[in-house]
DNA sequence: GAATCCAGCTTGTATAGGCAAGTTTCAGGC
DNA sequence: GCCTGAAACTTGCCTATACAAGCTGGATTC
């Protein structure tokens, strides 16, 4: 992470960050107060304040009104793994992507499906099952349910032409949600479709996508052959999001 | 995500964020300039400026000097999965944790290991293989290599008493690194140790942890029984980190 | 001794002004 | 038409000041 020291804020930021990641200031330790840093760097308090506030938002510091600034205790690391469109992923590494539609219908929600979507049972749900190929080798089975009432126009979409991922991204650019990653032994049909070996496990990513208001838009189960796909990402300390990053414990 | 409108910055932030996540302002669209928002909210420019800057750091906006402020194009979603200490994870959900040491020795690095650590071959490496139990049921095999030259005191650690994760966290609180998650069919010995079923796959997390200066500190391979463990996390748009969050493409 | 209050520290927030630096646009001169 | 340059706009950054709100510790008072 390169640190621009071109600005005064950047200088203060680099100074504090270096002490933290270098271990000189241990987690929980007191950081010099704003006025002390003002004296050290000869800047105005606002400049110091904004440098420290930025580091707080990034999870390195913890500030308590009336008390002072402290090095945040890192209790966990976070894996940041990109969940991209499988079509993008394939074309990005120079492959050829093709979609085969296995199932595509509108059904009435079963009781479990209705509970998942927090809808009354019997509500209409769009269901699609797609097989994604990379250079004519199957790479992913996408099993997806969508609430068509919340995603207008999705019923007219041709999944072979435009992916649901891209379509939903266009409709709801900033969704929330959860995902679960597991290792499974898939059923015979899946093994056959993905041309998997007799002992080969599958990596399964199941994700629930919600609109900003909390309503479930879509539930997707993505199945990959274990020998042909891995999930990878960067590791970093947790990042604060929004103006109220603390207030969880203690 | 609750939004405090108690402050003027919070009001402006909520106003802009609501337009973005609500889809009213599409990705790439122009956001009112600072002076326009000043006129609308009747605040000083700095107040508007800091509200917009915070949203930029969180990845919602993109600002170009001389041009204006725009809604950031969300190109991918990111899975934020916490990688915690198994011991913490188990005790947090009320379980009893116990560690069994399978292997614990100092060896000379093989050529592949040396390449992994970017060290000359034959350098001393600490190797440990641990079996973690939750209520006497095996949950994880931890296979770990550590560079003792970079982690002083690690050779005196008793892995059954304190986890390497916690020890390393104390030594290098803010590490960097990468992790890979895959589904595998583990060898016989692993299946036996983890008491896995005959057809049960395993979830494997392999992570490389580096010091802030880039040197590899430790490589860990964590193996879980597929039916007893899943990796889960929140999904959110990518977050900018540091003062230079863009500058990658276009 | 115990409770109270206040001074002195801390951070949070907002204001008003200024200058720098980048982009666009359009008028003017060639 | 083409190039040039200035004006007008944008964001980036810094300063100086002010007040609010929260915590701590010590002096005061009971």
Q: Residue ranges of the domains in chain B? A: 8-75, 80-234
Residue listed under structure tokens 């093709």: A98
Contact A77 B60 (CB under 8 A): no
Question: Is pLDDT of A242 > 70?
Answer: no
Written out in words, the top-level CATH class of the domain with range A80-234 is: alpha beta
Q: What is the pLDDT of residues A191-210, one digit of tens each?
A: 999 999 999 999 999 999 99
Q: What is the pLDDT of residue A164?
A: 95
Bridge partners for B234 per DSSP: A178, B80
The residue among A246 and B33 whose pLDDT is bigger is: B33
Give how far Cα A238 sits from Cα of A123, A241, B29, Å: 39, 9, 30
Q: What is the pLDDT of residues B25-46, one digit of tens each?
A: 999 999 999 999 999 999 999 9
Residue B177 makes CB contacts below 8 A (sequence gap 6+) with: A77, A234, A235, B207, B208, B209, B210
Contact B79 A81 (CB under 8 A): yes
Sign of torsion, CA A114 A120 A122 A127?
A: negative
Q: What is the pLDDT of residue A170?
A: 82
Which of A243, A245, A248 would best serve as a mutation to test chain B binding (most B beta carbons within 10 A)?
A243
Residue listed under structure tokens 């007191």: A30
Q: Chain A residue closest to B208 (CA)?
A: A235
Q: What is the pLDDT of residue A66?
A: 92
Residue A101 confidence class, pLDDT cut points 50, 70, 90: very high
Through-space separation of residue B28 CA and nucleotide D6 C1' in angstroms: 30
Q: Is A75 exposed, middle or buried (0-12, 13-18, 19+ CB in 10 A)?
A: middle
Residues A164, A157 contacting (CB under 8 angstroms) = yes
Question: Is pLDDT of A96 > 90?
Answer: yes
Q: Chain A residue closest to B209 (CA)?
A: A235
Bridge partners for B128 per DSSP: B104, B144
Contact B77 A82 (CB under 8 A): yes
Nucleotide nearest to A44 (CA to C1'): D15
Q: What is the pLDDT of residue A249?
A: 33
Residues in chain B predicted with pLDDT less than 70, given as ranges, are: 1-5, 75, 237-250
Residue B4 CB in 7 A reach of strand D: no
| Cβ-based contacts of A78 with chain B (< 8 Å) | 80-83, 233
Nucleotide nearest to B67 (CA to C1'): D10
Pick the CATH number of A8-75 from 1.10.10.10, 3.40.309.10, 1.20.1070.10, 1.10.443.10: 1.10.10.10
Question: Is pLDDT of A104 > 80?
Answer: yes
Separation in Å, CA of B172 to nearest CA in chain A = 7
Distance, CA of A11 to CA of A13 (rounded, Å): 5
Residue A7 CB in 7 A reach of strand D: yes
Question: Is pLDDT of A247 > 80?
Answer: no
Q: What is the pLDDT of residue B7?
A: 84
Q: What is the pLDDT of residue B77?
A: 84
Question: Which B residues, 21 through 50, put their C-beta within 8 Å of a C-beta on chain A?
Answer: 21-23, 26-27, 50
Through-space separation of residue B29 CA and nucleotide C24 C1' in angstroms: 18
Least confident of A45-54, A163-172, A192-201, B202-211: A163-172
Residue B56 CB in 7 A reach of strand D: yes
């Amino acid at each position: 992470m390169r640190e621009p020291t071109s600005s005064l804020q950047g200088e203060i930021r680099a100074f504090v960050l270096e002490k933290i990641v270098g271990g000189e200031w241990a987690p929980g330790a007191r950081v010099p107060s704003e006025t002390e840093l003002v004296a050290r760097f000869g800047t105005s308090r606002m400049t110091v304040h904004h440098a420290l506030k930025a580091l707080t938002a990034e999870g390195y510091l913890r500030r308590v009104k009336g008390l002072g600034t402290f090095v945040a205790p890192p209790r966990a690391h976070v894996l940041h793994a990109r969940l991209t469109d499988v079509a993008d992923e394939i074309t990005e590494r120079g492959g050829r992507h093709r979609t085969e539609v296995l199932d595509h219908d509108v059904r009435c929600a079963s009781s479990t499906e209705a509970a998942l979507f927090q809808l009354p049972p019997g509500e209409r749900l769009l269901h699609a099952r797609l097989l994604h190929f990379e250079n004519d080798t199957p790479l992913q089975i996408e099993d997806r349910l969508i609430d068509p009432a919340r995603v207008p126009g999705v019923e007219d979409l041709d999944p072979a032409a435009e992916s649901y991922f891209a379509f939903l991204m266009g409709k709801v650019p900033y969704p929330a949600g959860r995902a679960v990653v597991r290792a499974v032994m898939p059923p015979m049909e899946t093994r056959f479709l993905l041309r998997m070996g007799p002992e080969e496990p599958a990596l399964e990513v199941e994700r629930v996508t919600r609109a900003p208001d909390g309503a479930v838009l879509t539930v997707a189960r993505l199945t990959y052959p274990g020998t042909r796909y891995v999930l990878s990402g960067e590791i970093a300390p947790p990042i604060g999001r929004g103006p109220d990053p603390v207030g969880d414990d203690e």
